[in-house]
Amino acid sequence: MQQVWTLRSILQWTSEYFSKKGIDSHRLDAELLIAHAVGLDRIGLYRDFDRPVNESERALIRSYVQRRAQFEPVAHILNSRGFWQHDFYVDNRVLIPRPETEELIEYVLKWLKDHIDPRIADVGTGSGCIALTLADECKTAECIGFDVSEEALEVAQKNAQLLNIKSDFVKSDLLEKAEGLFDVIISNPPYIASDVIPTLMPDVQQYEPLLALDGGPDGLDCIRKLVPQAIDHLKPGGLLIFEIGYDQGPSASEICLNYKELKEVEIHKDYAKQDRFITAIRTDA
Ligand code: GLN
């Protein structure tokens, strides 16, 4: 007798298959892909565990499974990644938003509490997840996302439209094309050292844009360029905040400490207790 596939059995099979392929998040990935293919959310999947899966759904699941088995990220297969309150459109033109970056958002929102009509620059906006989240959370803010990649800006614009959030996007190498002064300059720059890139998971290495990852020999090239530009574009008392790698706290804060225009330079840890971002305040001088 031919086997009848149910959501339960196909989930079980897919999860084991991913596990054998060396995918750490095998169960979660199987759930996300299968739920999407049959038009349910993850809770629905468990509620309808014994529901049979028809042939056309199985064909779609099969194509998703094959792609994931080649290490294509789930976010690319589904063209979607949740960040803060929204699902962002993503594809291989941009970095996939990471949950760690939400910790910078949290910091900025707290910091902005007493500011009226702030101007915010998001440098290397990629999918636009930072600029759009801040614009959405802080309705009086003027947010501008900068990116050197035309392709990334297309994705950011698409997200602004899909989510119906207003933010401007400008093609610019870091802040080169920025005009005027900002209350907040935020960035998740490429900060991975070039020789570490070949050791990254194939999901990242083969599918995410090198431009969004590669920070030069020690990973700090962009940060070294960004800091003096940010000094020129921050209001006195304005906040510079940027993401770093787990081992870059001392070296990245050192770069800031070299400028007398910056004070209160601090290294912040993420929820996993790793160095994750730097903050500094523009002096009045
Ligand atoms: N700002 C985007 C993000 O945080 C892209 C960052 C990047 O491309 N390095 O996801």
pLDDT tens digit string along 146-188? 999 999 999 999 999 999 999 999 999 999 999 999 999 999 9
In a domain, 1, yes or no: no
Q: Which of 93, 95, 185 to mutate to test the pocket of ligand 1 (most atoms within 8 A of CB)?
A: 95
**Which structure tokens are listed for 3?**
């086997």
User: For residue 98, how far is its CA from the centre of ligand 1 (angstroms)?
Assistant: 8
Res 183: pLDDT: 98
* Residues spanned by the domain of 113: 83-282
Report the phi/psi class of residue 128: left, alpha or beta, with left for phi > 0 and alpha for psi in -120 to 50.
left
Are 114 and 156 in the same domain? yes
User: For residue 103, how far is its CA from the centre of ligand 1 (angstroms)?
Assistant: 13
Are 23 and 126 in the same domain? no
What 3-state DSSP class applies to 194? helix
What 3-state DSSP class applies to 150? helix
Cα separation, 65 vs 72, whole angstroms: 10
Looking at residue 213, which CATH number applies to its domain? Answer: 3.40.50.150
Res 3: pLDDT: 74
Are 37 and 87 in the same domain? no
In a domain, 75, yes or no: no
**Which structure tokens are listed for 102?**
């939400």
Could you identify the atom of ligand 1 that is nearest to the CA of residue 191? 9
Res 1: pLDDT: 55
Are 48 and 186 in the same domain? no
**Which structure tokens are listed for 261?**
């225009």
In a domain, 114, yes or no: yes
Are 260 and 184 in the same domain? yes
Spans of the chain below 70 pLDDT? 1-2
Are 269 and 180 in the same domain? yes
| Cβ 172 under 6 angstroms from ligand 1 | no
For atom 10 of ligand 1, the residue with the nearest CA is 97
- Say what the pTM is: 0.94
Cα separation, 279 vs 237, whole angstroms: 12
pLDDT tens digit string along 246-267? 999 999 999 999 999 999 999 9
Res 2: pLDDT: 64
Are 142 and 202 in the same domain? yes
Least Cα distance to 104 among 220, 186, 168 occurs for: 186
Cα separation, 34 vs 50, whole angstroms: 14
Are 49 and 119 in the same domain? no
Tell me 124's DSSP state: S
For atom 4 of ligand 1, the residue with the nearest CA is 188
Long-range contacts, stretch 59-62, CB < 8 angstroms, 24+ apart: 61/10, 61/14, 61/33, 61/34, 61/37
In a domain, 22, yes or no: yes
Determine the distance from the C-alpha atom of residue 279 to the mean position of all C-alpha atoms in its chain, rounded to a whole number: 19
User: For residue 96, how far is its CA from the centre of ligand 1 (angstroms)?
Assistant: 7
When the pLDDT of each residue in the chain is averaged and rounded to a whole number, the result is 96
CB 92 within 8 A of CB 156: no
Are 44 and 19 in the same domain? yes
In a domain, 76, yes or no: no
DSSP string, 230-279: HHHHEEEEEEEEEE--TT-HHHHHHHHHT-TTEEEEEEEE-TTSSEEEEE
